[in-house]
Each structure stands twice: as C-alpha cells, then as structure tokens.
Structure 1
Amino acid sequence: MPELDLKKAKLHLAGFNQVEEPIDQFIAGTFDRWQSYQNAKNFSRQYLISLIQIPGTKRWLFAGVYDQLVPKARPEGKRTKWQYTYRHLEGFEELEGRLILEYARAGRQAYVYADKVVPDMRVHSIRPKRLTVGDFPGFKAVDISHSTLKVIVKEQLESWKAALSSVAGVYLISDREHHMLYVGSATGEDGIWSRWATYAHGGHGGNVRLKALEKAKGAIFSNGFYFSILEIADKHTGEKQMTKLENEWKKRLLTRDAGLNGN
C-alpha cells in the first residue's frame, strides 16, 4: 500500500488501561470497538496503525490499519470524551494477530507519530497462526478476562470445557476497575464450567452486588472482571461442604466487608 506514508500515520500503542488488557479484546474480536472510545482526539493523522502490548514484555502485536477516522463528542458529566468511526483497511489480514514487533516505548506514551518511532522498531517474530485463546493452561494458571470467557463459552472450546466441567471448586472474580473481589463456588454435574457459563451470558451470574453494579454502570459493568480458581474439589462434593469452603475464602479475602459478596 504505497499511499500509507508513515508521515500520514499515527501509532496506537495499546496497553493495559488499569482495567482491561487490550490483547483480551483482540482475542475476543472486540478490539476495534474497544479502541474506538477515546478520552481525547488522539487519532489526528490520516491513518492509524494499531499495536497491542503483549503483557509484561516490550513486544507488540500488530492489530491492523485504519483510515476514515472521524471523532464524535460524547459528553460525560463535565468531561467530553470521543468515539471514533473508522474503516479497518483490508489487505493486512495475513499479518494481523501474527506479526510481533519489539519496541521499548518511553513511559506510557500511547499515541505517537509513526515516522518518529518505526525506525526504532524491529520484527521480533511472525506467529504461525493468528493469536487466539490457547488451550486450557491448568487450574492454577487460569486468569482470564470476561471478554475471553465469553469467547471460550461461545466457541465451546474443548480443552476448557473438559477441564472446567470435570471439577467443582471455589472461584474468584477480580473487578479490576473497582479494585474489589467476589468469591463464589460451583458444584453439580458440569462443575465450574456451568457456573462460569452464566457469567459469560449475563455478566452478573444472578449475584446481588454484581447486579447492583450493572444497574449503576450499565452494560460495561463487567469490562474489568477477571476469573481465576482458588480451590478445586471433586464434582460430587456436597453443596454444604462447598459452601463451607467458599465461606472460608470469603473470610480470608474480606469479600463481605470490603468486596462484592452480599452473604
């Protein structure tokens, strides 16, 4: 694409915003929508090239190129935020989600002129396939965003479903936007899988304080939710015993007094 002159392009170096990891949005297929919401008119050149930080590294995943960038004001109280409409340019699909660049950015700078920084980048690697949700990593390693959970449940990913439906357990929801925790437990024939599927479909899972968050914040209330597993148990463990284990974790993590548990 010869008309893609770097002097006409801005880079969006998308990193953790204290609530969400943009790489989770990419995996979930919602990155374009997520990126369209901005606190200022950040996309000021003809083209936008988006790179997503691979958490904990100086590596960046190529997400795409955009043009026809038009901001629309979104007043929020005394502040004005912006939502962009734009076109995701075709022709780059072969590298989207595969090309990884290495670049040590200065501080937390997220919006930079492409011609100023691209000379300092180098190709780290090209993945054999587009980045997607990986296989189940083991119970201790689970720490997934709500958007990723929705993908796992929607696609009925086999390794995740097989593992999560094989055990009962006590799980943790970390609300990283409000810095609060919720502890829950799952029993029954399909174990943790069945319980987490309710969160994938509705977000609040029927829990009183989570429903209150939804009422206060609207559809975005679960954007900062991350799911992990505190303890697993045999699927045939009785509900009474699981409730006891759940209560012990609530006590340790203070989720009744300073968290999202209402009972």
Structure 2
Amino acid sequence: MPLSFRSLLVDAGLDPREVNLLRHCPPGVVDPAGAWRADLAAFEAYQAVQKKSERSYFSRPLWASFLPTRDGRTLFVGIYEAQLQGDVAPGSTYALTGEAIRTELVDAYACALRTELSEYIGRLVIEWGPGTRRWGQKGTNDKPIVELLRAFEEPEFPGYLEVIEPLSAIPTLPSRWVDFLRQGRGIYLLTCPRTREQYVGKADGAEGFWGRWLSYATNGDGGNVRLKSRDRSDYQVSILEVAGSAATSDQIFAMETRWKAKLQTREMGLNGN
C-alpha cells in the first residue's frame, strides 16, 4: 500500500496539482463521518456550497473529501469532480446542520463522485497533521496513510452511563449504539446549554431511550409543555439510571419521581409535574 495519499492519487492517474484536500468539519456536528454515513445526500449538498472568497482555491477541478470520525481520525470519503455552478437560492439552509446559508457570501458547485479510489471510501485513514485548523489544503501536500480498514468501523458502545450527546447527534449515532439504546429503558436528563435548566424524563416505551430521544431531535420538545414554551435548543442528553429488564412502568415512574426530587427539576428546572 502506498505510504501517502499523494502517491495514491498518482497511482490512480490523477494529478495532485489539480486536487483539493478538504477536511469537512460541519459546525455543531459531533460525528461528521457518522452523519455522512447516515445521509450521503445531505453531506454532498453541504459540500457543494463554498465561500466566494475561496473561489480561487476551489478552482481546482478535483476535491478529495475527508471527514473527522467520532474518535478524531481523518477518514477518506471520495474524490469529487467539482464545477462552479452559480449562486445559492435565497432562503436556503444546510441540509446537514439546518443552519441558514448566507447566500450572498457563497457559491454553489456541481459535485460528482468519481470512481478513482472508490475502493478506499470509508476505509482509508490519513494523518491530517498539525494543520488541522486549515481544513482546505493542496493535493500536493503529503498526507501519511495511517491505516486501511477492512470496512467502515463504528465506535464501540461506551455503556449507558457514558453516553452524553447533543440531541442533534441522535439521528446519526452509530447503528450499534442505536441497538443498545433501543433495548435500554430508564431515566434520562436533558440540559439546556443556553439557560442551564434541566429536565428529567423517563424512557419506558418499546423503542427505549432511542425512541424517546429521537422524538426530541425531530420536533425539539418531545411533547413536553415546558419545553414547548422555550425557544428550540440543542439539549445535551445523558442517562441517569437504567431500569432492569423486568422493571414495570410503575417502577420506572417511581425512579423518575425520585430523580426529579434529587435534582429539584420541578422547582428549578423544566419539569412541570
């Protein structure tokens, strides 16, 4: 296996001088590689919008795209052929993040995935180097190849009490995490990063923690009256207590009541009952 990404480009018949290296770090996305795997179309739409001030850099016709993984590695996700298309429609948002696009500052590109190096997509990990802050670099820069995975690897589930995530990350959690969270029932905590208020809730349905959290991620309030009265926020979610497999709904309700009393979330938080 070649020792650098540049040598991979040359072996594939691509001129590194015509290639941009892009390490995409979408704001607010905890697991960019997971988001790519969960919704390729949203990632490609995000990638296709770039700043007008960077137009000279993006004039190179080929983009080699990379994404950070949850554990900080830099994963290759494809070679794209890119052409400047024009303006972005007013009122557009980034599909990957939901953030409003300042359309007067950006260009739209037509990006098509090429076949070169497709066998390495989701498998090749490079060392981006100390220039991590500069997410766009030249294809002539040497990027050492760190490893070649047999297949796209998801991180191991850390355990219920170790899960601490923003709600925006819930739809893109690794599938093996989702399996565990679907099976788990018990008590969870939402914390608002803006107001610092807390909400204690219970997950006792068929879809466990996963199903409950997904409802918050989808509509922002999960049907809770006090959360509806607040501006939508990207709450942090964590698990306070896991119920045993034989626990009844009444027992889980009692657990929830106990945690509300401990954290005083009726008096100083977002619980209304």
TM-score by length of 2: 0.68
Paired residue secondary structure (1:15)? coil
| Amino acid across the alignment from 1:108 | R
Match of 1:138 in 2: 159
Hey, what's the Cα distance between the residues in 1 that align with 2:48 and 2:192?
Answer: 25
Match of 1:230 in 2: 240
Match of 1:239 in 2: 253
Hey, what's the Cα distance between the residues in 2 that align with 1:9 and 1:192?
Answer: 44
Match of 1:109 in 2: 134
Match of 1:5 in 2: 15
Hey, what's the Cα distance between the residues in 2 that align with 1:179 and 1:13?
Answer: 33
User: Which shows bigger deviation, 71-80 or 104-113?
Assistant: 71-80
Hey, what's the Cα distance between the residues in 2 that align with 1:61 and 1:23?
Answer: 7
What is the percent sequence identity of the aligned residues? 21
Match of 2:4 in 1: none
Deviations 1:98-152 (A, max 9, x none): 100113132611112221x2x2x211101111234x4533112224465653256
Work out whether 1:124 is the aligned partner of 2:139: no
Hey, what's the Cα distance between the residues in 1 that align with 2:66 and 2:209?
Answer: 34
Say if 1:69 and 1:151 are closer, same or farther in 2 by CA, change over 3 A: same
Q: Which runs of 5+ in 2 are unaligned?
A: 1-8, 91-100
Work out whether 1:33 is the aligned partner of 2:45: yes
Q: Which has the higher strand share?
A: 1
TM-score by length of 1: 0.70
Paired residue secondary structure (2:259)? helix
| Amino acid across the alignment from 1:140 | L
Hey, what's the Cα distance between the residues in 2 that align with 1:55 and 1:158?
Answer: 14
Tell whether the 8 Å contact from 1:24 to 1:147 is kept in structure 2 after alignment.
no
Give the drift of 1:192. Answer: 2.2
Hey, what's the Cα distance between the residues in 2 that align with 1:249 and 1:145?
Answer: 20
Tell whether the 8 Å contact from 1:27 to 1:131 is kept in structure 2 after alignment.
no
Hey, what's the Cα distance between the residues in 2 that align with 1:86 and 1:64?
Answer: 11
Tell me the number of residue pairs that the alignment of Structure 1 and Structure 2 aligns: 240
Tell whether the 8 Å contact from 1:170 to 1:245 is kept in structure 2 after alignment.
no
Hey, what's the Cα distance between the residues in 1 that align with 2:132 and 2:184?
Answer: 44
